[in-house]
Structure 1
Amino acid sequence: MELVAIQINAGSDWEANRSRLAGLLLQLPSQRPLLVLLPENVAVFGCKNAIQQAAEPLGDGPIQDQFSQWARDHGIWLVVGSMPTRIEGSARFHATSLVYNELGERVAYYHKLHLFDVDVSDEQGRYRESDSYAPGEELCVVDSPFGRLGLSICYDLRFPQVYSELRAKGADILLVPAAFTRVTGQAHWQPLLQARAIENQCYVLAAGLYGEQGARQTWGHSMIISPWGEIERCLPKGEGLISTPIDTERLADIRRQMPVAQHARFSAVRRNK
């Protein structure tokens, strides 16, 4: 069983992004089963007009059909980091992560909980995701051949409570698709990812956008991190993919030898037992 993170420089044109993704998917390892994570905003990344044009009702639309077809054609579990989905009666959208199995069936989805409304010392300066998006309300953990997958998106990474709750719900692999800015990514991306892996004794599979999208600069540095906090693979720059086998026996050994979930005095894991 292999974990794969794909890194891409996505823009506001879905057709251009689709062409680049199709080429990257042809580079996948031959092993199966394969879990493939795409970055946040992988369908479109741009202004509100681009988001409006690409947004689809959850479960219905040509962009979602394409992701389903790719999962089926390549025989992979495919996790779309995020794409905009419509909210009935609202001018805003959800940033939605979609999980497809190897048959192309959508088996789970997750609406991003935490919206990036911050000021950053880069060329764009001001980020207000809440202008276009509404926050989700629920966590999601889904069964898979690789273990239980805990879903999150980008800015969620700064909220450790999210991941302790995912661990309490049985997560073995924490998925972190992202479009971290270059400034915040250089400062915090790697230590946050390693902390979430170590705290929760989970694999972390993180796929990032990379490059320049107008005034915005994204950090890349897609990573796969072990439950012990080791960086097993990293792609600092450019487009491409990284992969590594998942070692379920080592995951179990780490949790058995240092049972932090059982030792925690103030813990979501303890509350849910």
Structure 2
Amino acid sequence: MIGSMPILLPVLEPDAKEGDGKEDDSGDDGQRLANRCFVIGPDGGIIARYDKIHLFDVSLGAGESYRESRTYQGGAQAVLADIGPAKLGLSICYDLRFPYLYRALAQAGADILSIPAAFTETTGRAHWHVLLRARAIETGCFVMAPAQSGHHADGRDTFGHSLLVDPWGEVLVDAGRDRGVSLFTIDLDAVAAARARIPALGHDRPLTI
């Protein structure tokens, strides 16, 4: 707990694999881990939990590839947590690349979007800042994005740069590459102000392709 606000705790927990119609090439016994985020309230109770929906199965070139689905089971439920003065939309890492998730959370009432992540050095340098700013601008939400940084035992390098972005897309906090804690105060009135200036969340139109 930090003050009277909940904290976010990304964890990995065993979770039974659900049938998804895809071939299982992992060679395991059908078990998967869930990449899970908890929201813990001031009393220590669990307010909400979210299982990462989008799994990081990519080949970045130069021998750098990841197959998250070999180990993890993707979630299927978007989660909006009521944290008192605000509503918090939950997501994890690779979810960041799927804007429809954040639009749905914002249209359901999210004021703040949480995106804890471990972007690689390659993807972080190219995409981290611009994607986070885009999600804030598109939704008119504050975006909180704590990020891993440094060299890992499995050979990965992660980008770091934990960010706080306001609903107009301005970066309020950039924690850089060093380990540390960032404390900040946000003005939730900025959410309504940004959405009043550009009310795009209410301008969806049906289309065909």
Task: Give TM class, smaller chain.
Answer: 0.7 to 0.9
1:145 partner amino acid? G
Report Cα offsets for 1:69-94 as digits up to 9, x if no partner: xxxxxxxx1111x2111124742111
Matches of residues 229-240 of structure 1 in structure 2 within 5 Å? 229-240=169-180
Query: 2 CA distance for matches of 1:115 and 1:206?
Result: 18
TM normalised by structure 1 equals 0.67
Return closer, same or farther for 1:266/1:190 CA change in 2, 3 Å cut-off. Answer: farther
Question: What is the CA distance between 1:219 and its match in structure 2?
Answer: 0.4
1:105 has 2:45 as partner? yes
The equivalent of 1:176 in structure 2 is 115
Q: Which has the higher helix share?
A: 1
From 90, 94, 98, the equivalent of 1:151 is 90
2:142 partner amino acid? Y
- Look up the SS of the partner of 1:179 in the other structure: coil
From 55, 69, 73, the equivalent of 1:130 is 69
The equivalent of 1:242 in structure 2 is 182
Alignment gaps of 5+ in structure 2: 18-29
The equivalent of 1:257 in structure 2 is 197
From 58, 71, 87, the equivalent of 1:118 is 58
Report Cα offsets for 1:117-166 as digits up to 9, x if no partner: 111246x6121111110110110001112410000000000011111111
Report Cα offsets for 1:88-116 as digits up to 9, x if no partner: 47421111111110100001001100111
The equivalent of 2:4 in structure 1 is 33
Q: Which has the higher contact order (CA 8 A, sep 6+)?
A: 1
How many residues of Structure 1 are paired with residues of Structure 2 in the alignment? 194
2:66 partner amino acid? Y
2:31 partner amino acid? A
Query: 1 CA distance for matches of 2:162 and 2:197?
Result: 29
Question: What is the CA distance between 1:266 and its match in structure 2?
Answer: 4.7
Matches of residues 1-273 of structure 1 in structure 2 within 5 Å? 32-34=3-5, 77-80=6-9, 82-88=10-16, 90-121=30-61, 125-214=64-153, 215-266=155-206
Question: What is the CA distance between 1:33 and its match in structure 2?
Answer: 2.8
Q: Provide the identity percentage.
A: 39
Q: Which moved more, 1:144-153 or 1:182-191?
A: 144-153
The equivalent of 2:27 in structure 1 is none
Q: Residues 51 and 74 of structure 2 are in contact (CA less than 8 Å); yes or no, is this contact kept in structure 1? A: yes
Q: Residues 120 and 126 of structure 1 are in contact (CA less than 8 Å); yes or no, is this contact kept in structure 2? A: yes
1:85 partner amino acid? E
